């Protein structure tokens, strides 16, 4: 039986995505609006709350389908919602190829929070030390994102305990 994203799960994701009713550049050159909607967004475009909610409902469908199709073990609703949040954030390809999914499908539910904690990096470190780290292959050279760190902790808590806060 396929799961659906719960209302609490949708609100959980929306809190992380944030709501912007005016289009903005997401920092990578992608115009974004609403709760992380991209695609046909134009600079200066504005939308209503109802349009943002409609975009979100359409946009989250692929993440719901991805989790339903990729996860082969039984999930509780809170676990499903946490995984949809993660997939919505990292994308279908990253989710499907993740060690998190491999571990979970092997029945290792306890590995999920630790695996989520590995997805906290965004952007490259700069400077001579960062260049050396990359050259010497002694680290990723990526910056820890406080926003992603917080999101992964809360997704892990939701997966383990069912706490949507």
CATH number assigned to the domain comprising residue 12: 1.10.530.40
Which of 11, 17, 40, 53 is an active site residue? 17
Which H or E run includes 95? helix 92-96
pLDDT band at 125 (very low <50, low <70, confident <90, very high): very low
| Angle 35-38-42 from CA coordinates, rounded to 5° | 110
Measure the CA dihedral 29/35/39/44, to 10°. -60
Q: Please give the mean pLDDT across all residues of the chain.
A: 90
Which of 11, 26, 51, 124 is an active site residue? 26
In a domain, 1, yes or no: no
The total of structural domains in the chain comes to 1
Produce one character per residue of 28-44: b if its CB has 16 or more CB atoms within 10 Å, e if not: eeebbbbbbbeeebeee
Query: Is 58 labeled as catalytic in the residue annotation?
Result: no
Q: Inform me whether the pLDDT recorded for 37 exceeds 60.
A: yes
In a domain, 2, yes or no: no
The crossing angle, in degrees rounded to 10, of helices 77-90 and 7-17 is 30
In a domain, 87, yes or no: yes
Q: pTM of this prediction?
A: 0.86
Query: Is 17 labeled as catalytic in the residue annotation?
Result: yes
Q: What six digits make up the tokens of 73?
A: 């073990």
pLDDT band at 27 (very low <50, low <70, confident <90, very high): confident
Q: Which residues pair with 46 in a beta bridge?
A: 22
């Amino acid at each position: 039986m396929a799961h659906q994203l719960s209302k609490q799960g949708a609100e959980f994701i929306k809190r992380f995505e944030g709501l912007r009713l005016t289009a903005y550049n997401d920092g990578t050159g992608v115009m974004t609006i609403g709760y992380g909607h991209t695609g046909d967004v134009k600079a200066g475009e504005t939308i209503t709350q109802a349009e943002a909610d409609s975009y979100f409902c359409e946009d989250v469908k692929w993440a719901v389908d991805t989790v339903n199709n990729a996860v082969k073990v039984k999930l509780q609703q809170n676990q499903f919602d946490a995984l949809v949040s993660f997939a919505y954030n990292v994308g279908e390809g990253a989710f499907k190829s993740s060690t998190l999914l491999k571990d979970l499908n092997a029945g290792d539910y306890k590995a999920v929070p630790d695996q989520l904690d590995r997805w906290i990096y965004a952007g490259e470190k700069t400077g001579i030390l960062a260049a050396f780290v990359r050259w010497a292959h002694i680290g990723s050279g990526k910056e820890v994102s406080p926003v992603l760190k917080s999101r992964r902790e809360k997704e892990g808590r939701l997966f383990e305990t069912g706490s949507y806060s």
